[in-house]
Amino acid sequence: MAQYERLLEFYQAGPVPWDQADPPPEVLEFVPTLPVGRALDLGCGLGRATIFMARLGWQVDGVDFIVQAVEEATRRARQAGVAARAHFHLGAVDALDFLSGPYDFALDVGCAHNFDPDQLRRYHAGLLRLLRPGASYLLFAHLNEADAAPERRRWLDEAALLAQFADGFTLTRVEFGQTQVGEQAPWRSAWFWFERSARA
Per-residue pLDDT of the chain (200 residues; tens, 9 = 90+): 556 556 555 555 566 655 677 899 999 999 999 999 999 999 999 999 999 999 999 999 999 998 998 999 999 999 999 999 999 999 999 999 999 999 999 999 988 888 889 999 999 999 999 999 999 999 999 887 665 545 555 678 889 999 999 999 999 999 998 776 666 666 789 999 999 997 64
Q: Report the pLDDT value the prediction gives residue 136, as an integer from 0 to 100.
A: 98
Prior bond of 102 cis (ω within 30°): yes
Q: Report the pLDDT value the prediction gives residue 143, as an integer from 0 to 100.
A: 87
Q: Report the pLDDT value the prediction gives residue 22, as an integer from 0 to 100.
A: 87
> Beta 103-109 vs 131-142: how paired, if at all?
parallel
Yes or no: domain 30-115+124-196 corresponds to CATH 3.40.50.150: yes
Q: What is the dihedral of CA 32, 76, 78, 4, to 10 degrees?
A: 100
> Beta 103-109 vs 86-90: how paired, if at all?
unpaired
Q: Report the pLDDT value the prediction gives residue 9, as an integer from 0 to 100.
A: 57
Cα–Cα distance measured from residue 187 to residue 144, given in angstroms and rounded to the nearest whole number = 8
Nearest to 58 by CA among 110, 128, 136: 136
